[in-house]
């Protein structure tokens, strides 16, 4: 079992190993090593050692295999942490005051807070099932009122896909309920279906949106 190491930790581990071997280490070389290591998971020391210039090897009377062993020793028990992805912020339905920040890749501290007149819901892997399904509901309402926020819907689809407690049926039922209650023109429902089909989202969200909207509007 290894521990995730962000770039700052990688810098410290590599710098400590270089000092242990009495090797000179410039800021530029350290950054090159960190970049080479962070690009791999699992780390392949022999490849990461390629970041060290041949001239440096000659000056230290060493070789790339020795550098690779140094990298391997420095990172024992660690692996590069996944890069952080900024959360998406969106209001799916402009008629209400719920603003969502969505991140499927990492936890966001806190869950629901109240801002200046807005209900700010922070969604991540620790969010409740109800909060995520409420976001699906707002997504459908907003899509029927204006248009589908495709990029944000894609982020939400990643979050839905990460949850074993949210199924295609759940999404389909919510979608059908919203379509029936909003009673939009058939053209607006068709636009929603077209955007779902053309977008990058997939999994339970895309399948559920399609199934629920189609069934509720009796399009086919």
Q: What is the reported pTM? A: 0.53
Residues 99 and 37 in one domain: no
Residues 22 and 72 in one domain: yes
- What Rg do the C-alpha atoms of the chain give, in angstroms? 25
Domain end marker among 55, 80, 105 = 80
Residues 16 and 56 in one domain: yes
- The boundaries of the domain holding residue 184 are 88-217
* Token reading at 136: 């699906």
* pLDDT digit string, tens, across residues 147-175: 777 777 887 888 888 888 999 999 999 99
Alpha-carbon distance of 100 to 162, in angstroms, equals: 18
Domain end marker among 52, 80, 108 = 80
| CB-based contact 159:124 (threshold 8 Å) | yes
Residues 124 and 171 in one domain: yes
Q: What's the structural domain count of the chain?
A: 2
Residues 135 and 50 in one domain: no
Strand, coil or helix: 4 = strand
Q: CA–CA distance from 178 to each of 72, 110, 140, 169, 204 (Å)?
A: 55, 28, 7, 14, 17
* pLDDT digit string, tens, across residues 57-112: 999 999 999 999 999 999 999 988 876 544 455 555 555 545 566 554 333 333 33
Residues 71 and 151 in one domain: no
């Amino acid at each position: 079992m290894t521990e995730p190491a962000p770039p700052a930790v990688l810098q410290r581990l590599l710098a400590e190993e270089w000092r242990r071997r009495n090797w000179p280490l410039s800021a530029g070389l350290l950054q090159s090593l960190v970049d080479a290591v962070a690009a791999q998971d699992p780390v392949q020391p022999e490849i990461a050692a390629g970041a060290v210039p041949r001239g440096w090897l000659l000056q230290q009377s060493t070789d790339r295999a020795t550098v690779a062993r140094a990298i391997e020793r420095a990172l024992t028990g660690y692996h590069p942490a996944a890069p952080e992805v900024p959360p998406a912020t969106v209001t799916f339905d402009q008629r209400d005051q719920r603003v969502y920040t969505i991140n499927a890749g990492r936890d966001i501290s806190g869950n629901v807070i109240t801002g200046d007149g807005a209900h700010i819901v922070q969604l991540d892997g620790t969010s409740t099932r109800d909060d995520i399904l409420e976001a699906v509901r707002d997504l459908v309402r907003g899509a029927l009122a204006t248009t589908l926020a495709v990029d944000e819907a894609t982020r939400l689809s990643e979050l839905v896909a990460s949850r074993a407690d949210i199924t295609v049926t759940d999404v389909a039922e919510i979608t059908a309920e919203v379509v029936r209650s909003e009673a939009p023109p058939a053209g607006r429902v068709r636009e929603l279906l077209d955007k779902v089909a053309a977008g990058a989202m997939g999994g339970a969200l895309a399948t559920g949106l399609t199934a629920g909207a189609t069934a509720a509007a009796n399009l086919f």
